[in-house]
Amino acid sequence: MAVAVDQGHGFKLFARPPRCNLQSFSQLDYKMLDFSQTKLTQSLEHAFEFTNIHKSFSTPCLSHVKDDYDPNKPRIEIIVGNSSPRVRALVAEVAIAMASGIIPEPVPSGLGGAYFLRAQNGDTIAVAKPIDEEPLAMNNPKGLAGRMLGQPGMKCSIRIGETGLRESAAYILDHDGFAGVPPTALVRFSHVKFNINSPESDPTPNCKVASLQRFVSHDSDAGDLGPSSFSVTSVHHIGILDVRLMNLDRHAGNILVRQGQDGYAGATTELVPIDHGFCLPESLDDPYFEWLHWPQASIPFSESEMEYISHLDPCKDAELLRSELPSIEESSIRVLVLCTIFLKRASAYGLCLAEIGEMMTREFCGGEESWSTLENLCMKAKASLEKGLSGGNDFIEKHCNRHEEKVDEMFQFDDEYEYDSDSSPTNGKPSKIARFLSMSVLDNNSKLCRLNDDRGSNSTTEVNVDGDERGDIDDNSNSNNNNLKASGLMRSLSYSVPNYNLDGQCIICFGEMDDEGWRLFLECFEKKLPKAFEERKSMGLSKQRLGSSCEF
Ligand SMILES: Nc1ncnc2c1ncn2[C@@H]1O[C@H](COP(=O)(O)OP(=O)(O)OP(=O)(O)O)[C@@H](O)[C@H]1O
Protein backbone atom coordinates (compact mmCIF):
# COMPACT_ATOMS: atom_id res chain seq x y z
CA MET A 1 0.00 0.00 0.00
CA ALA A 2 1.39 3.38 -0.91
CA VAL A 3 1.45 6.10 1.69
CA ALA A 4 1.63 9.86 1.43
CA VAL A 5 4.31 11.66 3.38
CA ASP A 6 4.41 15.38 3.62
CA GLN A 7 7.85 16.71 2.81
CA GLY A 8 7.24 20.27 3.74
CA HIS A 9 5.76 21.51 0.50
CA GLY A 10 3.63 18.68 -0.66
CA PHE A 11 3.20 14.96 -0.61
CA LYS A 12 5.37 12.17 -1.72
CA LEU A 13 4.19 8.62 -2.16
CA PHE A 14 6.06 5.84 -0.44
CA ALA A 15 5.52 2.13 -0.19
CA ARG A 16 4.51 1.21 3.36
CA PRO A 17 7.65 1.55 5.41
CA PRO A 18 8.86 -1.35 7.57
CA ARG A 19 8.04 -1.65 11.26
CA CYS A 20 9.73 1.03 13.23
CA ASN A 21 9.54 2.44 16.70
CA LEU A 22 7.64 5.35 18.09
CA GLN A 23 10.43 7.82 17.61
CA SER A 24 10.32 7.30 13.88
CA PHE A 25 6.65 8.06 13.50
CA SER A 26 7.60 11.14 11.54
CA GLN A 27 8.71 8.85 8.73
CA LEU A 28 5.72 6.57 9.12
CA ASP A 29 2.56 6.24 7.14
CA TYR A 30 1.26 9.74 7.51
CA LYS A 31 -1.71 10.96 5.67
CA MET A 32 -0.92 14.61 5.85
CA LEU A 33 -3.45 17.33 6.31
CA ASP A 34 -2.17 20.88 6.20
CA PHE A 35 -4.45 23.34 7.83
CA SER A 36 -3.19 26.84 7.58
CA GLN A 37 -6.27 28.98 6.93
CA THR A 38 -5.50 29.88 3.34
CA LYS A 39 -4.59 26.39 2.36
CA LEU A 40 -7.51 24.66 3.88
CA THR A 41 -9.33 23.71 0.72
CA GLN A 42 -6.20 22.42 -0.90
CA SER A 43 -5.39 20.49 2.22
CA LEU A 44 -8.79 18.93 2.47
CA GLU A 45 -8.52 17.95 -1.16
CA HIS A 46 -5.30 16.21 -0.31
CA ALA A 47 -7.13 14.66 2.59
CA PHE A 48 -9.90 13.52 0.31
CA GLU A 49 -7.44 12.19 -2.17
CA PHE A 50 -5.37 10.30 0.32
CA THR A 51 -7.91 9.50 2.95
CA ASN A 52 -11.06 9.14 0.88
CA ILE A 53 -12.98 11.62 2.98
CA HIS A 54 -16.20 12.00 1.08
CA LYS A 55 -16.29 15.28 -0.74
CA SER A 56 -19.73 16.12 0.53
CA PHE A 57 -18.15 16.74 3.93
CA SER A 58 -18.69 20.41 4.47
CA THR A 59 -15.62 22.52 3.99
CA PRO A 60 -15.17 26.26 3.95
CA CYS A 61 -14.69 27.74 0.51
CA LEU A 62 -11.14 28.85 0.42
CA SER A 63 -8.97 29.49 -2.56
CA HIS A 64 -6.13 27.34 -3.79
CA VAL A 65 -2.92 29.13 -3.02
CA LYS A 66 0.04 26.90 -3.69
CA ASP A 67 2.80 29.21 -2.56
CA ASP A 68 1.55 30.33 0.80
CA TYR A 69 2.67 27.23 2.67
CA ASP A 70 3.54 28.37 6.16
CA PRO A 71 5.35 25.77 8.20
CA ASN A 72 4.63 27.76 11.35
CA LYS A 73 0.86 27.50 11.15
CA PRO A 74 -1.06 24.85 13.13
CA ARG A 75 -1.29 21.49 11.40
CA ILE A 76 -2.53 18.02 12.18
CA GLU A 77 -1.51 14.73 10.58
CA ILE A 78 -3.02 11.30 11.03
CA ILE A 79 -0.46 8.72 12.06
CA VAL A 80 -2.76 5.83 12.95
CA GLY A 81 -6.44 5.48 12.18
CA ASN A 82 -6.63 6.73 8.66
CA SER A 83 -8.58 3.75 7.39
CA SER A 84 -11.63 4.77 9.41
CA PRO A 85 -13.97 7.32 7.77
CA ARG A 86 -15.15 8.39 11.24
CA VAL A 87 -11.58 9.15 12.23
CA ARG A 88 -10.95 11.10 9.05
CA ALA A 89 -14.12 13.10 9.60
CA LEU A 90 -13.04 13.86 13.17
CA VAL A 91 -9.60 15.01 12.07
CA ALA A 92 -11.07 17.17 9.34
CA GLU A 93 -13.35 18.83 11.91
CA VAL A 94 -10.44 19.44 14.24
CA ALA A 95 -8.43 20.82 11.35
CA ILE A 96 -11.17 23.27 10.51
CA ALA A 97 -11.36 24.32 14.15
CA MET A 98 -7.63 24.80 14.24
CA ALA A 99 -7.75 26.87 11.10
CA SER A 100 -10.26 29.11 12.80
CA GLY A 101 -7.81 29.72 15.59
CA ILE A 102 -9.03 27.58 18.48
CA ILE A 103 -6.53 26.70 21.14
CA PRO A 104 -6.61 23.51 23.20
CA GLU A 105 -8.26 23.82 26.58
CA PRO A 106 -6.57 21.82 29.37
CA VAL A 107 -8.80 19.27 31.12
CA PRO A 108 -8.31 19.48 34.87
CA SER A 109 -9.22 15.86 35.65
CA GLY A 110 -7.02 12.83 35.04
CA LEU A 111 -3.34 12.35 35.74
CA GLY A 112 -2.12 13.00 32.24
CA GLY A 113 -2.27 16.07 30.05
CA ALA A 114 -5.59 16.12 28.21
CA TYR A 115 -7.14 18.93 26.18
CA PHE A 116 -10.60 19.66 24.87
CA LEU A 117 -10.74 20.95 21.31
CA ARG A 118 -13.75 23.08 20.43
CA ALA A 119 -15.36 23.94 17.14
CA GLN A 120 -15.94 27.56 16.24
CA ASN A 121 -19.50 27.37 17.63
CA GLY A 122 -18.11 26.41 21.03
CA ASP A 123 -19.05 22.73 20.93
CA THR A 124 -16.36 20.42 22.20
CA ILE A 125 -15.47 18.05 19.40
CA ALA A 126 -12.41 16.13 20.53
CA VAL A 127 -10.06 15.25 23.37
CA ALA A 128 -6.33 15.30 22.65
CA LYS A 129 -3.77 13.62 24.90
CA PRO A 130 -0.13 14.29 23.94
CA ILE A 131 2.07 11.28 24.57
CA ASP A 132 4.77 13.34 26.25
CA GLU A 133 2.22 14.53 28.82
CA GLU A 134 1.22 11.07 30.02
CA PRO A 135 1.67 10.45 33.73
CA LEU A 136 5.44 10.33 34.44
CA ALA A 137 6.37 11.63 30.98
CA MET A 138 8.63 14.67 30.72
CA ASN A 139 5.96 17.23 29.89
CA ASN A 140 3.26 16.00 32.23
CA PRO A 141 1.45 19.14 33.41
CA LYS A 142 0.14 17.66 36.65
CA GLY A 143 3.34 17.33 38.61
CA LEU A 144 4.01 13.76 37.54
CA ALA A 145 6.90 14.36 35.18
CA GLY A 146 10.34 12.82 35.18
CA ARG A 147 10.84 9.90 32.89
CA MET A 148 11.73 9.58 29.23
CA LEU A 149 9.68 8.09 26.44
CA GLY A 150 10.21 4.33 26.34
CA GLN A 151 10.73 3.96 30.08
CA PRO A 152 8.18 2.11 32.19
CA GLY A 153 5.08 4.14 32.93
CA MET A 154 2.42 3.96 35.61
CA LYS A 155 1.96 0.35 34.57
CA CYS A 156 5.26 -1.44 34.26
CA SER A 157 4.15 -3.43 31.25
CA ILE A 158 3.38 -0.30 29.23
CA ARG A 159 6.06 2.12 28.19
CA ILE A 160 5.75 5.86 28.49
CA GLY A 161 4.73 7.35 25.19
CA GLU A 162 2.78 4.31 24.06
CA THR A 163 -0.64 4.95 25.56
CA GLY A 164 -1.80 6.90 22.51
CA LEU A 165 -0.96 3.94 20.35
CA ARG A 166 -3.13 1.75 22.55
CA GLU A 167 -6.02 4.22 22.50
CA SER A 168 -5.97 3.85 18.73
CA ALA A 169 -5.68 0.08 18.94
CA ALA A 170 -8.78 -0.13 21.13
CA TYR A 171 -10.81 1.74 18.53
CA ILE A 172 -9.47 -0.37 15.68
CA LEU A 173 -10.24 -3.60 17.56
CA ASP A 174 -13.73 -2.56 18.67
CA HIS A 175 -15.29 -4.22 15.63
CA ASP A 176 -18.63 -2.77 14.55
CA GLY A 177 -18.52 -0.37 17.49
CA PHE A 178 -19.54 -3.26 19.73
CA ALA A 179 -18.30 -1.63 22.96
CA GLY A 180 -18.77 1.91 21.68
CA VAL A 181 -15.18 3.18 21.82
CA PRO A 182 -15.36 6.70 20.35
CA PRO A 183 -13.42 7.25 17.10
CA THR A 184 -9.77 7.56 18.07
CA ALA A 185 -6.60 8.28 16.13
CA LEU A 186 -2.95 8.85 16.77
CA VAL A 187 -2.06 12.21 15.28
CA ARG A 188 0.73 14.69 15.14
CA PHE A 189 0.04 18.31 15.95
CA SER A 190 2.41 21.01 14.79
CA HIS A 191 2.38 24.52 16.18
CA VAL A 192 -0.41 23.93 18.63
CA LYS A 193 -0.16 25.16 22.19
CA PHE A 194 0.30 22.19 24.52
CA ASN A 195 2.30 21.95 27.73
CA ILE A 196 6.09 21.93 27.75
CA ASN A 197 7.80 21.83 31.13
CA SER A 198 11.22 23.08 30.07
CA PRO A 199 11.14 24.56 26.56
CA GLU A 200 14.92 24.91 26.35
CA SER A 201 15.45 21.15 26.69
CA ASP A 202 12.79 20.13 24.22
CA PRO A 203 14.24 19.33 20.79
CA THR A 204 10.88 19.52 19.00
CA PRO A 205 8.87 22.10 20.92
CA ASN A 206 6.44 22.71 18.08
CA CYS A 207 5.50 19.18 17.40
CA LYS A 208 3.52 16.68 19.47
CA VAL A 209 2.22 13.19 18.90
CA ALA A 210 -1.11 12.74 20.64
CA SER A 211 -4.15 10.54 20.76
CA LEU A 212 -7.23 12.27 19.45
CA GLN A 213 -10.67 11.01 20.43
CA ARG A 214 -14.15 12.14 19.51
CA PHE A 215 -15.65 13.99 22.48
CA VAL A 216 -18.76 12.26 23.77
CA SER A 217 -21.23 14.47 25.59
CA HIS A 218 -22.22 12.75 28.79
CA ASP A 219 -24.05 13.32 32.06
CA SER A 220 -21.66 11.64 34.46
CA ASP A 221 -19.29 8.75 34.71
CA ALA A 222 -19.89 5.32 36.20
CA GLY A 223 -18.27 6.42 39.45
CA ASP A 224 -21.06 8.92 40.07
CA LEU A 225 -23.80 6.31 39.87
CA GLY A 226 -24.42 2.84 41.20
CA PRO A 227 -24.33 0.14 38.56
CA SER A 228 -28.01 -0.72 38.99
CA SER A 229 -29.09 1.60 36.18
CA PHE A 230 -26.67 0.12 33.66
CA SER A 231 -27.95 -2.37 31.15
CA VAL A 232 -26.54 -5.87 31.17
CA THR A 233 -25.69 -5.49 27.49
CA SER A 234 -23.64 -2.33 27.89
CA VAL A 235 -21.67 -3.83 30.80
CA HIS A 236 -21.06 -7.06 28.87
CA HIS A 237 -19.94 -5.24 25.75
CA ILE A 238 -17.38 -3.16 27.62
CA GLY A 239 -16.29 -6.21 29.62
CA ILE A 240 -15.73 -8.28 26.48
CA LEU A 241 -13.49 -5.53 25.08
CA ASP A 242 -11.58 -5.26 28.36
CA VAL A 243 -10.96 -9.00 28.52
CA ARG A 244 -9.71 -9.18 24.92
CA LEU A 245 -7.40 -6.22 25.41
CA MET A 246 -6.42 -7.04 29.00
CA ASN A 247 -7.32 -3.54 30.12
CA LEU A 248 -5.32 -2.61 33.20
CA ASP A 249 -7.29 0.53 33.88
CA ARG A 250 -11.04 0.10 33.55
CA HIS A 251 -11.92 2.25 36.54
CA ALA A 252 -15.34 3.86 36.90
CA GLY A 253 -14.09 7.23 35.66
CA ASN A 254 -13.24 5.63 32.34
CA ILE A 255 -16.86 4.74 31.65
CA LEU A 256 -18.91 7.76 30.63
CA VAL A 257 -22.66 7.64 31.21
CA ARG A 258 -25.22 9.16 28.88
CA GLN A 259 -28.78 9.32 30.13
CA GLY A 260 -31.61 8.83 27.69
CA GLN A 261 -35.34 8.23 27.62
CA ASP A 262 -36.52 4.92 26.33
CA GLY A 263 -40.28 5.05 25.88
CA TYR A 264 -42.15 2.83 28.30
CA ALA A 265 -39.02 1.53 29.94
CA GLY A 266 -38.23 4.94 31.39
CA ALA A 267 -34.72 6.31 31.68
CA THR A 268 -31.95 4.27 30.14
CA THR A 269 -28.26 4.78 30.29
CA GLU A 270 -25.62 4.29 27.66
CA LEU A 271 -22.09 3.50 28.73
CA VAL A 272 -19.19 4.83 26.69
CA PRO A 273 -15.73 3.42 27.36
CA ILE A 274 -12.83 5.89 27.18
CA ASP A 275 -9.14 5.95 28.12
CA HIS A 276 -7.65 2.76 26.69
CA GLY A 277 -4.01 3.75 27.11
CA PHE A 278 -3.37 0.90 29.51
CA CYS A 279 -4.61 -1.92 27.29
CA LEU A 280 -2.49 -4.51 25.52
CA PRO A 281 0.40 -4.72 27.99
CA GLU A 282 3.70 -6.15 26.78
CA SER A 283 3.36 -8.99 29.30
CA LEU A 284 0.56 -10.47 31.32
CA ASP A 285 -0.31 -8.05 34.07
CA ASP A 286 -3.00 -7.43 36.64
CA PRO A 287 -6.05 -6.03 34.87
CA TYR A 288 -8.46 -3.73 36.67
CA PHE A 289 -12.10 -4.36 35.81
CA GLU A 290 -14.47 -2.04 37.63
CA TRP A 291 -17.38 -4.18 36.41
CA LEU A 292 -15.98 -7.34 37.99
CA HIS A 293 -18.32 -7.20 40.97
CA TRP A 294 -21.25 -5.59 39.25
CA PRO A 295 -24.17 -8.01 39.17
CA GLN A 296 -24.51 -7.66 35.40
CA ALA A 297 -21.18 -9.43 35.03
CA SER A 298 -22.62 -12.59 36.57
CA ILE A 299 -25.44 -12.81 34.05
CA PRO A 300 -24.69 -15.31 31.25
CA PHE A 301 -23.77 -13.89 27.87
CA SER A 302 -26.69 -13.43 25.49
CA GLU A 303 -26.95 -15.28 22.19
CA SER A 304 -25.82 -12.27 20.19
CA GLU A 305 -22.87 -11.73 22.50
CA MET A 306 -21.90 -15.38 22.13
CA GLU A 307 -22.12 -14.97 18.40
CA TYR A 308 -19.92 -11.87 18.47
CA ILE A 309 -17.36 -13.69 20.60
CA SER A 310 -17.41 -16.76 18.38
CA HIS A 311 -16.66 -14.58 15.36
CA LEU A 312 -13.66 -12.95 16.99
CA ASP A 313 -10.57 -14.07 15.13
CA PRO A 314 -7.39 -13.53 17.14
CA CYS A 315 -5.16 -14.11 14.11
CA LYS A 316 -7.04 -11.55 12.04
CA ASP A 317 -6.93 -9.08 14.92
CA ALA A 318 -3.20 -9.62 15.23
CA GLU A 319 -2.75 -8.97 11.50
CA LEU A 320 -4.92 -5.89 11.74
CA LEU A 321 -2.76 -4.46 14.49
CA ARG A 322 0.44 -5.29 12.63
CA SER A 323 -0.76 -3.46 9.56
CA GLU A 324 -2.45 -0.49 11.23
CA LEU A 325 -0.01 0.02 14.09
CA PRO A 326 3.37 -1.12 12.85
CA SER A 327 5.12 0.12 15.97
CA ILE A 328 3.19 -1.94 18.50
CA GLU A 329 5.28 -4.67 20.12
CA GLU A 330 4.68 -8.25 19.04
CA SER A 331 4.52 -9.20 22.72
CA SER A 332 1.46 -6.96 23.12
CA ILE A 333 -0.15 -8.51 20.07
CA ARG A 334 0.39 -11.94 21.61
CA VAL A 335 -1.34 -10.82 24.80
CA LEU A 336 -4.32 -9.88 22.63
CA VAL A 337 -4.27 -13.28 20.93
CA LEU A 338 -4.00 -15.13 24.22
CA CYS A 339 -6.78 -13.16 25.92
CA THR A 340 -9.07 -13.54 22.90
CA ILE A 341 -8.56 -17.30 22.89
CA PHE A 342 -9.17 -17.35 26.63
CA LEU A 343 -12.41 -15.39 26.23
CA LYS A 344 -13.63 -17.60 23.39
CA ARG A 345 -12.91 -20.86 25.19
CA ALA A 346 -14.21 -19.67 28.55
CA SER A 347 -17.48 -18.32 27.18
CA ALA A 348 -18.00 -21.45 25.09
CA TYR A 349 -17.50 -23.47 28.27
CA GLY A 350 -20.29 -21.47 29.88
CA LEU A 351 -18.39 -19.10 32.12
CA CYS A 352 -19.82 -15.64 32.64
CA LEU A 353 -17.98 -12.33 32.36
CA ALA A 354 -17.33 -12.13 36.11
CA GLU A 355 -15.79 -15.61 36.21
CA ILE A 356 -13.60 -14.85 33.22
CA GLY A 357 -12.52 -11.52 34.71
CA GLU A 358 -11.72 -13.13 38.04
CA MET A 359 -9.55 -15.75 36.39
CA MET A 360 -7.51 -12.95 34.82
CA THR A 361 -7.15 -10.89 37.99
CA ARG A 362 -4.45 -11.31 40.59
CA GLU A 363 -5.36 -12.00 44.17
CA PHE A 364 -4.11 -9.69 46.88
CA CYS A 365 -4.15 -11.38 50.23
CA GLY A 366 -2.23 -10.78 53.46
CA GLY A 367 -0.07 -8.11 51.85
CA GLU A 368 0.99 -10.43 49.06
CA GLU A 369 -0.05 -10.51 45.47
CA SER A 370 -0.54 -13.87 43.78
CA TRP A 371 -0.53 -14.82 40.15
CA SER A 372 -3.88 -14.86 38.45
CA THR A 373 -5.26 -18.18 37.24
CA LEU A 374 -4.50 -17.08 33.70
CA GLU A 375 -0.88 -16.37 34.62
CA ASN A 376 -0.60 -19.72 36.37
CA LEU A 377 -1.94 -21.48 33.32
CA CYS A 378 0.57 -19.73 31.10
CA MET A 379 3.39 -20.54 33.52
CA LYS A 380 2.41 -24.17 33.42
CA ALA A 381 2.18 -24.20 29.64
CA LYS A 382 5.60 -22.56 29.34
CA ALA A 383 7.09 -24.90 31.90
CA SER A 384 5.66 -27.94 30.12
CA LEU A 385 7.17 -26.88 26.85
CA GLU A 386 10.49 -25.98 28.36
CA LYS A 387 10.68 -29.36 30.01
CA GLY A 388 9.97 -30.96 26.66
CA LEU A 389 6.73 -32.47 27.88
CA SER A 390 4.72 -31.43 24.89
CA GLY A 391 6.69 -30.27 21.98
CA GLY A 392 10.33 -30.41 21.08
CA ASN A 393 13.03 -31.77 23.36
CA ASP A 394 14.54 -28.44 23.98
CA PHE A 395 11.91 -25.82 23.52
CA ILE A 396 13.99 -22.93 24.75
CA GLU A 397 16.96 -23.70 22.51
CA LYS A 398 14.76 -24.10 19.51
CA HIS A 399 12.07 -21.50 19.91
CA CYS A 400 13.15 -18.70 22.22
CA ASN A 401 15.17 -15.84 20.84
CA ARG A 402 16.44 -14.96 24.27
CA HIS A 403 16.85 -18.20 26.03
CA GLU A 404 19.42 -17.57 28.70
CA GLU A 405 17.05 -17.86 31.62
CA LYS A 406 14.68 -20.69 32.35
CA VAL A 407 11.42 -20.60 34.18
CA ASP A 408 12.82 -21.95 37.44
CA GLU A 409 15.30 -19.11 37.59
CA MET A 410 12.51 -16.58 37.54
CA PHE A 411 12.11 -17.25 41.19
CA GLN A 412 15.68 -17.24 42.32
CA PHE A 413 15.03 -14.09 44.34
CA ASP A 414 12.13 -15.42 46.32
CA ASP A 415 13.30 -18.20 48.60
CA GLU A 416 9.83 -19.07 49.71
CA TYR A 417 8.49 -19.53 46.26
CA GLU A 418 7.63 -23.02 45.21
CA TYR A 419 6.37 -23.83 41.81
CA ASP A 420 4.72 -27.15 41.27
CA SER A 421 3.92 -27.54 37.64
CA ASP A 422 1.71 -30.53 38.30
CA SER A 423 -0.55 -28.96 40.84
CA SER A 424 -3.52 -26.92 39.86
CA PRO A 425 -3.14 -23.17 40.17
CA THR A 426 -6.43 -22.99 41.94
CA ASN A 427 -5.64 -25.74 44.41
CA GLY A 428 -4.54 -24.61 47.83
CA LYS A 429 -2.59 -21.43 48.26
CA PRO A 430 -2.04 -19.55 45.03
CA SER A 431 1.49 -19.10 43.78
CA LYS A 432 3.21 -16.00 45.02
CA ILE A 433 4.69 -13.46 42.72
CA ALA A 434 8.39 -12.92 43.29
CA ARG A 435 8.94 -9.35 44.37
CA PHE A 436 12.20 -7.53 44.77
CA LEU A 437 13.84 -4.24 44.19
CA SER A 438 11.79 -2.37 41.67
CA MET A 439 14.01 -1.68 38.73
CA SER A 440 13.11 0.01 35.54
CA VAL A 441 14.90 -1.25 32.50
CA LEU A 442 15.10 0.74 29.34
CA ASP A 443 14.74 -0.99 26.04
CA ASN A 444 17.51 -3.09 24.57
CA ASN A 445 18.90 -0.33 22.43
CA SER A 446 19.59 2.04 25.26
CA LYS A 447 21.65 -0.49 27.23
CA LEU A 448 20.78 1.44 30.34
CA CYS A 449 18.76 0.61 33.33
CA ARG A 450 17.31 3.03 35.80
CA LEU A 451 16.98 1.92 39.34
CA ASN A 452 14.25 3.11 41.57
CA ASP A 453 14.16 1.91 45.11
CA ASP A 454 10.67 0.77 45.90
CA ARG A 455 11.27 1.10 49.58
CA GLY A 456 10.67 4.79 49.83
CA SER A 457 13.88 6.28 48.57
CA ASN A 458 13.97 8.53 45.54
CA SER A 459 17.40 7.33 44.64
CA THR A 460 18.12 7.03 40.98
CA THR A 461 21.22 5.73 39.30
CA GLU A 462 21.94 5.01 35.73
CA VAL A 463 24.16 2.03 35.07
CA ASN A 464 25.03 0.23 31.94
CA VAL A 465 24.30 -3.44 31.70
CA ASP A 466 27.78 -4.35 32.80
CA GLY A 467 27.23 -2.56 36.03
CA ASP A 468 29.24 0.62 35.52
CA GLU A 469 27.56 3.56 37.11
CA ARG A 470 27.07 6.58 34.95
CA GLY A 471 26.23 9.04 37.65
CA ASP A 472 24.98 9.15 41.19
CA ILE A 473 21.91 11.09 41.95
CA ASP A 474 21.85 10.31 45.60
CA ASP A 475 23.60 8.29 48.24
CA ASN A 476 21.49 5.21 47.97
CA SER A 477 22.45 4.48 44.44
CA ASN A 478 25.38 2.27 45.39
CA SER A 479 23.25 0.14 47.58
CA ASN A 480 20.74 -0.16 44.78
CA ASN A 481 23.44 -1.26 42.47
CA ASN A 482 24.79 -3.72 44.99
CA ASN A 483 21.36 -5.14 45.52
CA LEU A 484 21.04 -5.55 41.85
CA LYS A 485 24.39 -7.27 41.47
CA ALA A 486 23.77 -9.44 44.49
CA SER A 487 20.47 -10.54 43.09
CA GLY A 488 22.14 -11.83 39.99
CA LEU A 489 19.86 -9.68 37.95
CA MET A 490 22.66 -7.78 36.30
CA ARG A 491 23.60 -10.94 34.48
CA SER A 492 20.13 -11.47 33.22
CA LEU A 493 19.82 -7.88 32.11
CA SER A 494 22.58 -8.24 29.60
CA TYR A 495 20.49 -10.88 27.87
CA SER A 496 17.33 -8.82 28.04
CA VAL A 497 15.62 -11.74 29.68
CA PRO A 498 11.93 -11.91 28.91
CA ASN A 499 11.02 -13.07 32.37
CA TYR A 500 11.24 -9.65 34.00
CA ASN A 501 9.18 -6.65 33.22
CA LEU A 502 10.37 -3.13 32.64
CA ASP A 503 10.27 -2.56 36.36
CA GLY A 504 12.25 -5.63 37.26
CA GLN A 505 9.37 -7.76 38.48
CA CYS A 506 8.76 -11.34 37.47
CA ILE A 507 6.40 -11.45 34.56
CA ILE A 508 5.04 -13.71 31.90
CA CYS A 509 5.61 -12.46 28.40
CA PHE A 510 5.55 -14.11 25.03
CA GLY A 511 7.74 -11.89 22.91
CA GLU A 512 10.78 -14.15 23.14
CA MET A 513 9.26 -17.13 21.31
CA ASP A 514 9.55 -17.62 17.59
CA ASP A 515 6.38 -18.34 15.60
CA GLU A 516 6.59 -22.09 15.99
CA GLY A 517 7.28 -21.78 19.71
CA TRP A 518 4.31 -19.49 20.09
CA ARG A 519 2.11 -21.96 18.22
CA LEU A 520 3.26 -24.82 20.45
CA PHE A 521 2.72 -22.69 23.52
CA LEU A 522 -0.84 -21.83 22.51
CA GLU A 523 -1.57 -25.47 21.81
CA CYS A 524 -0.32 -26.43 25.24
CA PHE A 525 -2.18 -23.52 26.87
CA GLU A 526 -5.47 -24.47 25.24
CA LYS A 527 -5.14 -28.06 26.42
CA LYS A 528 -4.99 -26.83 29.99
CA LEU A 529 -8.11 -24.69 29.75
CA PRO A 530 -10.96 -27.21 30.23
CA LYS A 531 -9.63 -28.38 33.61
CA ALA A 532 -9.16 -24.80 34.79
CA PHE A 533 -12.68 -23.88 33.65
CA GLU A 534 -14.13 -26.89 35.38
CA GLU A 535 -12.42 -25.88 38.62
CA ARG A 536 -13.59 -22.31 38.29
CA LYS A 537 -17.14 -23.45 37.62
CA SER A 538 -17.14 -25.68 40.68
CA MET A 539 -16.15 -22.72 42.87
CA GLY A 540 -19.44 -20.95 42.09
CA LEU A 541 -19.98 -17.24 42.25
CA SER A 542 -18.25 -15.16 44.88
CA LYS A 543 -20.20 -14.15 47.97
CA GLN A 544 -19.80 -10.53 47.11
CA ARG A 545 -21.70 -10.82 43.87
CA LEU A 546 -24.35 -13.14 45.20
CA GLY A 547 -25.02 -10.69 47.99
CA SER A 548 -25.80 -7.84 45.66
CA SER A 549 -29.35 -6.65 45.35
CA CYS A 550 -29.23 -5.00 41.97
CA GLU A 551 -32.25 -5.20 39.76
CA PHE A 552 -32.34 -5.17 35.99
N1 LIG B 1 -13.96 10.90 24.53
C2 LIG B 1 -14.23 11.67 25.58
N3 LIG B 1 -15.41 12.31 25.66
C4 LIG B 1 -15.71 13.10 26.71
N5 LIG B 1 -14.87 13.34 27.72
C6 LIG B 1 -13.68 12.74 27.70
C7 LIG B 1 -13.30 11.86 26.64
N8 LIG B 1 -12.05 11.41 26.90
C9 LIG B 1 -11.68 11.97 28.05
N10 LIG B 1 -12.65 12.78 28.55
C11 LIG B 1 -12.61 13.59 29.77
O12 LIG B 1 -11.29 13.96 30.02
C13 LIG B 1 -10.88 13.50 31.31
C14 LIG B 1 -9.45 13.01 31.23
O15 LIG B 1 -9.38 11.99 30.26
P16 LIG B 1 -8.76 10.57 30.58
O17 LIG B 1 -9.47 9.91 31.70
O18 LIG B 1 -8.75 9.82 29.30
O19 LIG B 1 -7.30 11.03 30.97
P20 LIG B 1 -6.22 10.34 31.87
O21 LIG B 1 -5.24 11.37 32.25
O22 LIG B 1 -5.74 9.15 31.15
O23 LIG B 1 -7.12 9.93 33.12
P24 LIG B 1 -6.84 8.90 34.30
O25 LIG B 1 -5.84 9.55 35.15
O26 LIG B 1 -8.21 8.80 34.93
O27 LIG B 1 -6.42 7.59 33.72
C28 LIG B 1 -11.86 12.39 31.67
O29 LIG B 1 -12.07 12.32 33.04
C30 LIG B 1 -13.12 12.81 30.96
O31 LIG B 1 -13.84 13.68 31.77
Nearest CA to ligand 1 atom 15: 110
Asked if 455 contacts 438 with a C-beta cutoff of 8 angstroms, the reply is: no
Query: For 449, how many CA atoms within 13 A lie in the half-sphere containing its CB?
Result: 31
Predicted local distance difference test score (pLDDT) of residue 1: 31
275 alpha carbon – ligand 1 mean position (Å): 6
pTM: 0.74
Predicted local distance difference test score (pLDDT) of residue 344: 98
Give the three-class secondary structure for 365. strand
pLDDT tens for 292-333 read 999 999 999 999 999 999 999 999 999 999 999 989 999 999
Mean pLDDT of 99-119: 94
Question: What's the chain's average pLDDT?
Answer: 72
246 alpha carbon – ligand 1 mean position (Å): 19
**Ligand 1 atom nearest 214 alpha carbon:** 1
136 within ligand 1 shell (Cβ under 6 A): no
Question: Packing angle between helix 303-311 and helix 330-349, nearest 10 degrees?
Answer: 140
Asked if 376 contacts 425 with a C-beta cutoff of 8 angstroms, the reply is: yes
pLDDT band of residue 141 (cuts 50, 70, 90) is: very high
pLDDT band of residue 450 (cuts 50, 70, 90) is: very low
Query: Where are any strands of DSSP class E within 205-289?
Result: 207-214, 220-221, 255-261, 267-273
Of 156, 534, 155, 525, nearest in space to 376 by CA: 525
Percent helix / strand / coil, the chain, rounded to 5: 40, 20, 45
Where does residue 271 fall: left (phi above 0), alpha (psi -120 to 50 degrees), or beta otherwise? Answer: beta
**Ligand 1 atom nearest 215 alpha carbon:** 3
423 alpha carbon – ligand 1 mean position (Å): 43
Mean pLDDT of 50-58: 32
Residue 471 has pLDDT above 70, yes or no: no
Most confidently predicted of 4-13, 358-367, 464-473: 358-367
Residue type, 250: R
Give the three-class secondary structure for 57. coil
pLDDT tens for 507-537 read 898 988 899 999 999 999 999 999 999 999 9
Distance, CA of 201 to CA of 270 (rounded, Å): 44
Strands 75-80 and 11-15: unpaired
112 within ligand 1 shell (Cβ under 6 A): yes
Largest CA distance in the chain: 74
CA torsion sign, 222 to 228 to 230 to 232? Answer: positive
Given ligand 1 and candidates 127, 132, 162, 211, which is best to mutate, with the most ligand atoms within 8 Å of its CB? 127
Instruction: Write the ipTM.
Output: 0.97
Asked if 287 contacts 358 with a C-beta cutoff of 8 angstroms, the reply is: no
290 within ligand 1 shell (Cβ under 6 A): no
pLDDT tens for 124-136 read 999 999 999 999 9
Residue 544 has pLDDT above 90, yes or no: no
pLDDT band of residue 261 (cuts 50, 70, 90) is: low
Question: In whole angstroms, how far apart are CA 390 and each of 39, 243, 335, 380, 385?
Answer: 63, 28, 21, 11, 6
Predicted local distance difference test score (pLDDT) of residue 365: 82
